Structure 1
Amino acid sequence: MDEDSRRTRWERRTEGPLAVASLVFLAAYAIRVLTGDPPDGLRALCLGLILAAWALFAVDYAVRWRLSGQRLRFVRTHWLDTVVLILPLLRPLRVVKVYEAVRRRHGRPRFALHARVMVYAGLATVLLGFTGALGVYQQEHAAPDATVRTFGDAVWWTCATLSTVGYGDVAPVTPVGRLIAVGVMAIGLALLGAVTGTFASWLLQVFAREDDGGPPAS
């Protein structure tokens, strides 16, 4: 059996477990942040689940790197997995990737390309918005002169930032909080551009078909 076949089989077998690990990581991280000062047992459980999820991603990354035989080229061609391994808060993106893989495995995707792009962008926005709000709240709520005092403030700030509105009524003041903010801003611009560009492309196709006298695509 060649390395490509072994890698493909490995990726298929680990899609589901890694998606579950992403959700477990997000749940454990949310509980640890939102409970404030949890009991020692709950804190230890959440920390153990977070570390276990990180270990699963590290093992999966190492195995696929070994099976690919690409060495440093693997890091460039699998940039999402590399970023997810380095930045734990981006692990929920794995769920979006698994959703795409499952749809392809069951044959032709249910939605057209334009609809799929908007659906995936929406899923990524919700997941990253929630994790970004958790990260900002964790860093900001106890900082001096902080304006993000509650998780609701963090969610409001994330929505305003992802939508590129940026009211400025609440904003991070800590270095780590501002670093998270930079990532949320960049992601917001990318997702907004993807959705608006895809929607505009779909409208152009519809209008072109109408001009040609053909029925619009569903």
Structure 2
Amino acid sequence: MSRNSARTAPEQAESRWERRAEAPLAVASLVFLSAYAVWVLAHGLSPAWRAACLALALTSWAVFAVDYAVRWRLSGQRLAFVRGHLLDTVVLFLPLLRPLCIVRFHDAVQRHRDRPRLALYTRVMVYAGLSVLLLGFAGALAVYHQEHAAPDATIRTFGDSVWWTCATLATVGYGDVAPVTPLGRLVAVGLMGCGLALLGTVTGSFSSWLLQVFAREDDGRPPGGSSPGAS
């Protein structure tokens, strides 16, 4: 019995919708990130352009809301759908995580190919690195937006925010600059958690790859395929 025939009708309908929505969601993620970046960084924008950026960001949120509602309706799972799609639920309510959908779209493109371009461990590290870049940029924008005009703030420029974000995601925490506003600190907590998770993912994948290499060498089967002692 094939995998498709083993699925129920709601699962097949949800799967078809997800395939169709992958590209629009990736575009909506890019639109949101671009509009938010312009809205935060371009201080000289006219009110009309600022309103346009805000409208684009809200439109991208509406795209995610429609996608979530349709998949929830097609699944027929009610509350079980929320538990089984935690990332989608969190992304719906936390806009800064929407760039992660770009990573999911890239993963879907790779899965549609007969043979992925990258090995498993390499793909994990590439996706983790892409997630760090997207989350770091979005987090730096959010912290700068909240902090640059706050009293007694140490993060005054976007460069300061990027430096702080890099130190936070790398779990270094120099402490030379730090958020002072409640929302800025809330973003900081999220970035700390993401930094720990992504660092653990990359470290674990790299360690697993090393263990495989050493195991092959111990078995007399080096990764290059040559036999031990071969010239």
TM-score (norm 2): 0.92
CA distance in 1, matches of 2:182, 2:167: 20
Q: 1:217 to 1:30 in 2, by over 3 A?
A: farther
Residue identity (%): 71
Matched, 1:165 2:172: yes
CA distance in 2, matches of 1:159, 1:182: 14
Alignment of 1:1-218 (within 5 A): 2-216=9-223
CA distance in 2, matches of 1:59, 1:149: 37
User: How far did residue 108 of structure 1 move?
Assistant: 2.4
CA distance in 2, matches of 1:160, 1:5: 44
Q: 1:135 to 1:217 in 2, by over 3 A?
A: farther
CA distance in 1, matches of 2:9, 2:72: 15
CA distance in 2, matches of 1:144, 1:40: 25
Q: What count of residue pairs does the alignment treat as equivalent?
A: 218
Amino acid at match of 2:181: T
8 Å CA contact retained: 1:148, 1:154: yes
CA distance in 2, matches of 1:36, 1:180: 22
Question: Which secondary structure state, in structure 2, belongs to the residue aligned with residue 18 of structure 1?
Answer: helix
RMSD: 1.3
User: How far did residue 215 of structure 1 move?
Assistant: 2.4
Which ranges in structure 2 are unaligned for 5 or more consecutive residues?
1-7, 226-231
Question: Which secondary structure state, in structure 1, belongs to the residue aligned with residue 165 of structure 2?
Answer: helix
Q: 1:198 to 1:217 in 2, by over 3 A?
A: farther
Which ranges in structure 1 are unaligned for 5 or more consecutive residues?
none
CA distance in 1, matches of 2:52, 2:113: 36
CA distance in 1, matches of 2:86, 2:141: 24
